[in-house]
Amino acid sequence: MGYTADIDTGGTFTDGFFTRGGEFHAVKTATTPHDLTLCFMECLKAGAQAFGVALGDFLEHADLIRFSNTIGTNTIIERNGSRVGLLLTQGNESLAPLGDQKHTLLLPEMVLGLSEEVSVDGAIVRAPEASAIMAAAQTLIDRGARCLVVALANSEANPANEQLVRETIKREYPRDYLGSVPVFLASDISARSGYAERINTAVLNAYIHSKLTRLLYKSGEDLRRNRYRGHLFIGHNNGAAARVAKTRAINTYNSGPAAGLLGAREIGALYGARQIISGDMGGTSYDLGLIRDGEPGFSLRPDVEGFRCNLPMLSILALGAGGGSIATLVDGELRVGPRSAGALPGPACFDLGGADATVTDANLVLGLLDSDFFLGGAKKLNLVKARAAIENKIAKPLNISVEDAALRIVNVVDANVACEIARLAGNEAQNTLMVVYGGAGPLHCCSMAQGIGKLVVTPYSAVFSAYSSSLMDVGHIYYRRSSAALSADGDFTGMAQAISEMRVRAEQDMRGEGFAPENLYWTVELIVQGSDPESEARLTAAADFFRAPQAVARLAVQAKEALGEKNGQSPVITSIGLFARAGVPHFKMAAQTGSGRKLQDAQKSQRDIYLGAGHAVKVPVYDRDRLECGHQIDGPALVESVQTTIWVAQGWRLTVDQYQNAVLERMPS
């Protein structure tokens, strides 16, 4: 049995989850923002070391490596992607995602229109002329375009004009002359309605393509040089992974946080939870997700850093509330985030030149973090610098003690996130299970999750997105436009043909991933629209659902419920997706029994914690690795592991169950 490696690169740390059979190791290494291939390989080295083998030996015997990263997200946030040239249908230039002058994706001079027309039903009214295509392409290249995007109106109904533009450019400018300037078609990226959203999706994909390509191909080459013989699979924001050659850049946006939803669903299923909230507090952000009845939330028209797109993806709410979030005073009011100190310079206590007061600095000052045991002692924290940052930035201006200033910082960030958790849980808060993870999540969860019935912290919570990646199968999803009514007497002839054509393409792509057609499993994704054109819902079904009238009738009822419509006309299927996946081995935590070790044997010390009222309180500190099934700890208490710290607040009880999960619940009053 070989090794598996799942790596998730965040803004501050790069997390790794490594397995062989039932054995797992979780590691964290510092993210190297200037070159993410470095932290990728360092994480692999740390994983190999955890198994006691050299990197080359580990990779030679590795069955599967999956990689999620933040380069696409960061490129959009920092506005340092490729210079894109955009070709639109003439008269629609105002739809280009220019942004403001300071944070633009596209410069106005990089947008040109072509005279062409495709009708709403896909008929070619007018094809663009070759001379006009070449004149526009040459102008954009002369203005510095590193790639070209072709996004023509109604191309989701018929992409022929877009394809003609690309063919014309490639014919006149062969690769050896044009160099590596690629041409992207909006119809290849999205087949859904919404011209402006389709333009945004195609431009964002092109904007981040170059950086991502360099990262992924270099990472793949580094693996091959170190004796890895398999594919490097990339995590996608639809819940599956695919090899580099079959990955579109936009599919990687938010893929790490999206993977966390799969892990939260897996953990929640252990407890029979119908509603699950995932809460990931890392160094830069707090990412929230929701799972109901086993279905993770999906955004059908997600907002990607301020640009509305029409490529469905797992839904994540990102809040600027991480360990590195910076505390500031605005007109005398304390605010925390969204700006983060990141990996470099990081919080002041990291001793890398940071001078701003952050959440991590506050936790250190309060005593919630041990300066000598951060990441198991791999990183020493500087308490003096943490105190100085909080004193200079917050305490002195407010004329309060450093400890009270630190407590206020923590309380503000906790309150901000608590509001969003309560909104997400709705009326089902008491019956909601929350899976808490990220390096900082377990430290704040009791305060943030007021009203939530049960909190679960896994033994690998600090690398939970990487663990969740280990649950990803290899797969691809394909979309086609549709206009079929979702009713028992609907005409599904066109849909059946579309599914058949998508299936042929899927089988070809999955063969390239190394999977035979007989080893694939299939799901159909239906995007339906009600009487309100702005109202959409997503349903999943078997690939041949349309052959069974009863299945169609059930889906119609589900669609109306999801759309909030009980009566009226049948919903219309506007898009159909075919999801082809191949199962790969997933890590499963085996149930365990306790050895009979006493709880006091797991206590390693006591520590003074500042909780307000002008004085500290002495609380017990437990070693997470020495806790086992059946152990219970009443708060206030700290539970420390190599990678994270759990704060069991007053009024809460921590119980270790048979899966080695720490389950936090309020104590009976």
Q: How far apart are CA 217 and CA 220, in angstroms?
A: 5
Q: What is the pLDDT of residue 98?
A: 83
DSSP-derived 3-state class of residue 574: strand
- With CA atoms as reference, report the closest residue to 173 among 153, 152, 147, 155: 147
Instruction: For the beta carbon of residue 346, count every other beta carbon within 10 angstroms.
Output: 24
User: Do 72 and 221 share a domain, yes or no?
Assistant: yes
Structural domain ending residue among the three candidates 212, 244, 262: 212
Q: Measure the CA–CA gap between 335 and 342, rounded to whole angstroms.
A: 17
Q: Point out which residues pair with 637 in neighbouring strands.
A: 648
Give the distance from CA 553 to its chain's centroid: 34
In percent, the amount of the chain with pLDDT more than 90 equals 75
CA 500, CA 496: separation in Å to the nearest integer?
6
Q: Residue 177: is its pLDDT beyond 80? A: no
State pLDDT tens for residues 85-101: 999 999 999 999 986 55
CATH code (residue 478): 3.30.1490
How far is residue 553 from each of residues 16, 158, 530, measured CA to CA in Å?
45, 30, 16
Give the Cα-Cα-Cα angle 72, 76, 79 (nearest 5 degrees). Answer: 130
Worst-scoring range by mean pLDDT, 55-59, 207-211, 374-378?
Answer: 374-378
Q: What is the count of structural domains for the chain?
A: 4
Question: Most confidently modeled of 9-23, 131-145, 368-382?
Answer: 131-145
pLDDT digits (tens, 9 = 90+) for 116-173: 999 999 999 999 999 999 999 999 999 999 999 999 999 999 999 999 999 999 887 7
* Residue 198 belongs to a domain: yes
Mean pLDDT of the chain: 92
- Is residue 638 situated within a structural domain? yes
Q: Which residue has the tokens 């994480």?
A: 43
CATH classification at residue 242? 3.30.420.40
Residue 220 has pLDDT above 90, yes or no: yes
Regarding whether 190 and 243 lie in a shared domain, the answer is: no
Domain interval for residue 640: 599-666
Which of 148, 180, 212 is the last residue before a domain boundary?
212
Residue scoring higher pLDDT (384 or 79): 384
Position 179 scores a pLDDT of 52
The residues, any chain, with a CB within 8 Å of residue 135's CB and separated by 6 or more, are: none
Q: What is the pLDDT of residue 178?
A: 45
Which pLDDT band holds residue 31 (cuts at 50, 70, 90)? confident
Least confident interval from 97-101, 305-309, 396-400: 97-101
Cis preceding-peptide flag for 442 (omega within 30 of 0): no
Per-residue confidence (pLDDT) for residue 180, from 0 to 100: 60
- With respect to residue 533, please indicate whether it lies within any of the assigned structural domains: yes
Asked whether residue 584 carries a pLDDT value surpassing 70, the answer given is: yes
Question: Does an H or E element contain 649, and which?
Answer: none
Same domain, 95 and 200: yes
Residue of 281, 317, 336, 292 whose CA lies nearest to 420: 317
Residues 140 and 61 in one domain: no
Which pLDDT score is estimated for 540? Answer: 93
Indicate whether 43 and 84 sit together in one domain: no
Q: pTM of the full predicted structure?
A: 0.90
Tell me the HSE value of 158 on the side-chain side, using a 13 A CA sphere.
15
Tokens (6 digits) for 472: 């990803």
**Residue 669, C-beta contacts closer than 8 angstroms, at least 6 positions apart:** none
Residues 90 and 203 in one domain: yes
Q: Determine, yes or no, domain membership for 432.
A: no
**Domain finish residue from 552, 582, 612:** 582
Q: Torsion over CA of 169, 171, 173 and 179, rounded to 10 degrees?
A: 90
Q: What's the pLDDT tens digit per position in 617-627? A: 999 999 999 99
Strand ranges (DSSP E) for 331-381?
333-340
The DSSP code for 492 is -
How crowded is residue 617: how many other Cβ atoms within 10 Å of its Cβ? 14
- The reply to whether 575 falls in a domain is yes
pLDDT (0 to 100) of residue 463? 92
Q: What is the pLDDT of residues 266-289, one digit of tens each?
A: 999 999 999 999 999 988 889 999
61 near 31, Cβ under 8 Å? no
Domain check: are 162 and 244 in the same one? no
31 with 140, same domain? no
Residues 94 and 134 in one domain: yes
Alpha helices (H) in 299-400, listed in sequence order: 359-366, 383-390, 396-398
Q: Does a structural domain hold residue 635?
A: yes
* 632: in domain: yes
In a domain, 660, yes or no: yes
Contact 436, 457 (CB under 8 A): yes
User: Is residue 504 over pLDDT 80?
Assistant: yes
Q: Are residues 200 and 97 in the same domain?
A: yes
Residues 92 and 241 in one domain: no
The predicted pLDDT at position 607 comes to 96
Whether the CB-CB separation of 289 and 257 falls below 8 Å is answered with yes
Q: Which of 30-44, 393-407, 529-543 has the highest mean pLDDT?
A: 393-407
Measured CA to CA in angstroms, residue 569 lies from 527, 540, 554, 608 at distances of 16, 21, 15, 65
Q: Check whether residue 26 and residue 72 sit in a common domain.
A: yes
Task: Calculate mean pLDDT across residues 321-342.
Answer: 91
- The three-class DSSP label of residue 177 is helix
| DSSP character at residue 475 | E
